Amino acid sequence: MTARHDSTDPISPLVRTLLTELGEDPARAGLVQTPSRVASSFRYLLSGYALNLEDLVNGAIFDEPYSEMVVVRDIEVYSLCEHHLLPFFGKAHVAYIPDGRILGLSKIPRIVDMFARRLQVQERLTTQIGDALQSILEPQGVGVVVEAIHLCMAMRGVEKQNSSAVTSSLTGCLRDDDKSRNEFLSLIGHR
């Protein structure tokens, strides 16, 4: 999806209608460009729909006899809640134990972004990241923990500004072996 910066984007008139329905005047000086800005913003924030795992990985899987845990932690996550179209944001921590194949390290945050830049729930996002790594690498195990603050909880609804959600997805030895699971949680700073 490429960003469109003009009023020809089909999303623009929808935003203009939304502004009118909310009681605003889309012709007001501060709002004239808002429909095209919002359209461009949504195209960027939801650009993950235009990506697929195979193209994103682009052959960056390498045969390597390394068999210890690989962890990329504190990956910034920004997504939109599919229920309210409000942001949630935080950190993802991703690990895997290779079984003869490793992935270029920069691909892990790219996989996180691919799924985060879609309308999401945190639970599905966490599972999609883990499932993607499991499918492309077939490692001994995968671990994903996502910690996020949801503006749909902070700005509306229960209005709890200091709460965060933590979700996990564990496969293989990171799910079944206490030692591996505890090593992963320790390396990302969780008890």
Break the chain into its structural domains and give their ranges: 11-45, 59-187
CATH value of 59-187 in 3.40.50.620, 3.40.47.10, 3.30.1130.10, 3.40.50.10420: 3.30.1130.10
Taking only the tens of pLDDT, the chain with its 191 residues reads 444 455 689 999 999 999 999 999 999 999 999 999 999 999 999 999 999 999 999 999 999 999 999 999 999 999 999 999 999 999 999 999 999 999 999 999 999 999 999 999 999 999 999 999 999 999 999 999 999 999 998 888 887 778 899 999 999 999 999 999 999 999 999 85
pLDDT of res. 171: 97
Give the whole-angstrom CA distance, residue 3 versus residue 37. 10
Question: What residues are labeled active site?
Answer: 81-84, 122, 150, 152
Q: What is the DSSP string of 125-191?
A: HHHHHHHHHHHHH--SEEEEEEEEEEHHHHTSTT--TT--EEEEEE-HHHHH-HHHHHHHHHHTT--
pLDDT of res. 3: 45
Chain centroid to Cα 47, Å, comes to 11
pLDDT of res. 181: 97
What does pTM read for this prediction? 0.92
Lookup: tokens for 60? 């960056």
pLDDT of res. 191: 58
Question: Nearest-CA neighbor of 183 among 66, 64, 77, 73?
Answer: 73
pLDDT of res. 156: 84
